[in-house]
Chain A
């Protein structure tokens, strides 16, 4: 009870910090390239499959990491997804420097087409490396996951999906939600900021 109200106080604080914060990437263009907000999502208890055809208990996999980044894509998406994926790959060296134990989950929006074999091809094509886990699963599992993160695309059509990146900087930190294309360096910066803010919350406890 007390704990949960502390968490929401923390979330409120983060929201406060967030509102006054304008991503630096925004300055170069007339419109911000992505929008930022903070949320308290409950990690969905879904069972997914990775590129090696191993079953992944998603909630456990998330709980196990200190820091988690989630993004969404599908292998036949040609416009934005290659950019989304390349951005994640671009952020890897910087994330390594930050040093926290972390994992990136890149979840397929097209699970029935994106078989583990197709995920493997995609991994090779974009050189996603060790730290990015590609996930697929049943249609319902993926749907449950999307719902948990308020990421159901408009019109029930994955072609209308929007680029989305979620960061959870520490085990008790809120989820930072970035909507829009986020470059590798912006992502690293957001991660640093999220870690600072998570630190601010833990001092409330």
Chain B
């Protein structure tokens, strides 16, 4: 009835007025008192107040039930909705449903310009859908009948729910809380972010990471001032840049002592100055204590430089990673061994007693037992580099071509490579993770590695060493012009990338600084982000948390111009 309200203003006012009168004159339908916790359960899990799965009818009689009928599926955890498949899903967080729809200019600007979208989406975003604020009664109508308070019928994508009054009241109560309280770590002036470092990481790498991040923050803040001074394109849209931008403040959270103590240290930092997100970071050993903290605090933790993410969960949560780390390398090796032409009959795994040794060794043993039961595998732990040398010498003396040797251990020490070079192992195929050789990847290593040519295999979860990367070139220039020496290139490029993603995704937030929304923006945007090519490509999706999913297997080559041959093309285990 009031479909064209926004176009014909006078008529619209009369109609609204009539609507108001109507509302007062009808007996008010009494909804029970809503329970927000139960509403959340319905929203996120599709379970009604009686413990039964909720039921909805979608396009052309398709029915959805329980976990297929959650609101979260489309409107997302934050309630900000978004766009997918060219369909625009409107925000239904507290700040939207309980306010008259004003087609907020900032939101319109975002939806229209910051995303590559098809025409349909664009038309939908520009189509004014003015409506009064929802009440529990009009929400009931929206959910059951698919109509908004001014009578506009919804698109078929929004299902029609069979909900009783109590479920509607619970949902109404939950929506009233959804993304209502601003997330910690943002005040009127600053967006606080942190990075995490622990004792025992390589000091040079740590300092390079911190310096890159600090330079980024300085650059970002300076640019912000000049953007505010020249807000031309945004001003054309009446967008208030000032209300939605914040200066960044970087905090360095240093951890020391045993990993068991880290949680308390992190909690203390977070109490002293809450942050909105943690970006980058490096710790000695497993990242798990930090990850657990981030999940506990619902604090987005983006892209730590770690080989031991040790993810508990398959999906979801607040931690984003470049890769699955050494677990991925163990899996790549499992697939490679399975497909290898001259596959060894036996595998001997040597690992040190750090997490970098123990975790991938047990992962590979598990993989081989499940997929290649015909291979016999023996796993031996070593405590010192001398022990490793002794073990390898023994294997070198026997030098059996049908025995594969796998070595796992702490990164950034040359001891594994040295022990291998002195071992006399010539015919047994040897398998090592990328970090054993990574620093020697760029130079021509024909001489150094010549004793191992032909039998050394490296799992390589990165782009090929020789791949040219335009964006890396650009970022190196950026660093140089800020007087930052390029001495830990990978660390520096990735630190810069992490900050870039934070910038791009907070730009899409406008004034809506909610952590869940940030997480959803990152899921959405990583795939089209410019990245420095350390990894061939990134992709995420709803609830996905690992951006690069595969790797190569390389062998050294003394003669070729690339110093390495590709023994196995990109494997996604």
Contacts and interface: CB of A to CB of B under 8 A. Distances in A.
A112 interface: yes
Given A158-B541, A159-B84, A181 B59 contact: yes
B544 A76 contact: yes
B59 A80 contact: no
Contacts of B537: 139
A160 B60 contact: no
A18 to B, nearest CB: 19
Interface stretch (B115-123, B350-358, B393-401): B115-123
Interface stretch (B10-18, B25-33, B523-531, B554-562): B523-531
Contacts of A180: 120
A42 interface: no
Q: Which of A78, A110, A111, A184 has the most CB of B within 10 A?
A: A78
A182 to B, nearest CB: 9
A33 B549 contact: no
Given A79-B89, A80-B85, A112-B539, A157 B116 contact: yes
A94 to B, nearest CB: 12
A76 B542 contact: yes
A15 interface: no
B59 A76 contact: no
Contacts of A159: 83-84, 523-524, 527, 541
B467 interface: no
B85 A79 contact: yes
Given A77-B541, A112-B550, A158-B541, A87 B59 contact: yes
A90 B116 contact: no
Interface of A: 25, 29, 33, 74, 76-84, 86-87, 90, 110-113, 115, 138-139, 154-163, 180-181, 183-186
Given A86-B62, A159-B524, A181-B59, A110 B541 contact: yes
A183 to B, nearest CB: 3
Interface string B173-209: 0000000000000000000000000000000000000
22 contacts: A33-B156, A76-B541, A76-B542, A77-B541, A78-B72, A79-B74, A79-B157, A82-B64, A82-B68, A82-B73, A86-B58, A90-B60, A112-B572, A138-B570, A155-B528, A157-B116, A157-B524, A158-B541, A161-B85, A183-B60, A184-B62, A185-B60
* Shortest Cβ-Cβ A-B pairs, 6 listed: A155-B116, A80-B85, A183-B60, A76-B541, A162-B86, A79-B84
A87 B156 CA distance: 13
Nearest to B59: A183
Given A82-B68, A157-B528, A160-B118, 13 more contacts: A79-B73, A79-B157, A82-B64, A83-B157, A139-B570, A154-B116, A154-B117, A155-B115, A159-B84, A159-B524, A160-B83, A163-B85, A183-B59
B528 A74 contact: no
Contacts of A25: 60
Contacts of B549: 112-113
Interface of B: 58-62, 64, 68, 72-74, 83-87, 89, 115-118, 120, 153, 156-157, 315, 523-525, 527-528, 537, 539, 541-544, 549-550, 570, 572
Nearest to B525: A157
A110 B153 CA distance: 33
A92 to B, nearest CB: 13
B118 A186 contact: no
A157 B62 CA distance: 28
B118 A162 contact: yes
A160 B59 contact: no
